[in-house]
Amino acid sequence: SASKDHVVKKMVYLYITTYATANPELSLLAINTLQKDCRDEDPMTRGLALRSFTSLRLDSTKEYLPAVVTAGLKDSSPYVRKTAVMACVKLHRLEPEALVEADVVNTLYNMLRDRDALVVANCICALNEILQQEGGMAINKPIIHHLLNRIKDFNEWSQCIVLEVVAQYKPDGQQETFDIMNLLEERLKHSNSAVVLAATKVFLNLTQDMPAVHQQVYSRLKAPMLTLMTGGVFEQGFVCLKHIALLTSRAPTVFSDVFKHFYCRYNDPACVKLLKLEILTTISTATNVGEITEELAEYVTDTDNTVARGAVSAIGKMGIRVPECAGLVVEQVM
């Protein structure tokens, strides 16, 4: 496209990539233009051209791709570099041998120290995709420490990518585990629920071999999980409740003192109400079973038959779970 307008260029590139496979011979005429645009002085144009060039899916373009991609990885613009990183995944699917010859994997590992956080996040995704058969990117202490020290530079979705990598790491000892958890403490207070849940996964995975600390982690996670559950739309609350249900199945007493947080609201969808009933059953103890059964007795008359049946079932399960209160439970049902 001879136009300098980015919108026009984007539309032209989109048209070419969409119909390239239907008209491969005509598409070849665009190769020179795309190669030229990959060397344009405007980084936005270079990035758009690189993305489009690697999206053509034509056998005749394979020989040109390695040079274009490797040049993009060394570009001065972070926009072009992050585009080139994702282009490596396309190159891997089209011509895996060329990827090996160009030593792209090692280049991507080196780019984990790129000054731009988005480039680093894309490198992690690309390495995990390219090395999928080998279990994803290799993880070691220098990489993890570098990513953790830069965690604040990443946007919220990139933080989730980084935390997913950290969750797979095995620290050398307890001190390193504590250092990592201290670094990630603020992530548990993040406004984005995905970041909080990703940090939760890290805390639980890191302390799996430390039973005493693992139990303390459950208590530490209680406040952020309750905050997520009560804030936002019900879809977010449902996902959080699913996580809480898993936590309560492993450590039921952690949430037993805040059982009232799991009382159903009148506008809760049936799926949320049923999940709350499941959690209430799990966290019931001799001290709270009376109040819980009293509350659940109200749900027996719910307009939704599924919820009503769930309430009756939950009351019965609590009677079995807390045998000394079985008489009280039966009285409520009657």
- What's the pLDDT tens digit per position in 23-61? 777 777 778 888 888 898 999 999 999 998 888 877 777
Q: What is the CA radius of gyration of the chain?
A: 27
Residue 156 corresponds to which amino acid? Answer: E
Q: Is the pLDDT of residue 125 over 70?
A: yes
pLDDT value at position 332? 63
In this structure, what DSSP letter does residue 47 have? Answer: H
* pTM score, whole prediction: 0.85
pLDDT, residue 264, reads 92
Ranges 109-113, 114-118, 224-228: which has the least confidence: 224-228
Residue 122 has a pLDDT of 97
Whole-angstrom distance, CA of residue 177 vs CA of residue 325: 42
Domain boundaries of the chain, sorted by first residue: 1-134, 139-209, 220-334
- Side-chain-side CA neighbours of 269 within 13 Å: the count stands at 9
User: Tell me, what's the pLDDT at 111?
Assistant: 96
Spatial neighbors of 139 by CB under 8 A, at least 6 apart, are 165, 168, 169
The arithmetic mean of pLDDT across residues 90-96, rounded, is: 89
Q: Which CATH superfamily is domain 1-134 in?
A: Leucine-rich Repeat Variant (1.25.10.10)
Q: Is the model's pLDDT at 323 over the cut of 80?
A: no
Distance CA 269, CA 267 (A): 6
48, 81 in Cβ contact below 8 A?
Answer: no
Extract the tokens encoding 292. 């819980």
Name, of 101-105, 122-126, 170-174, 227-231, the range with top average pLDDT.
122-126
- Could you write out the DSSP letters of every residue in 2-18? ----HHHHHHHHHHHHH
pLDDT per position as a tens digit, 145-195 = 999 999 999 999 999 999 999 999 999 889 999 999 999 999 999 988 999
Q: For residue 23, what pLDDT is reported?
A: 76
Nearest to 166 by CA among 148, 142, 188: 148
Angle between helices 289-299 and 305-321 (to 10 degrees): 160
Mean pLDDT of the chain: 89
Q: Would you state the pLDDT for residue 197?
A: 94
Residue type, 40: D
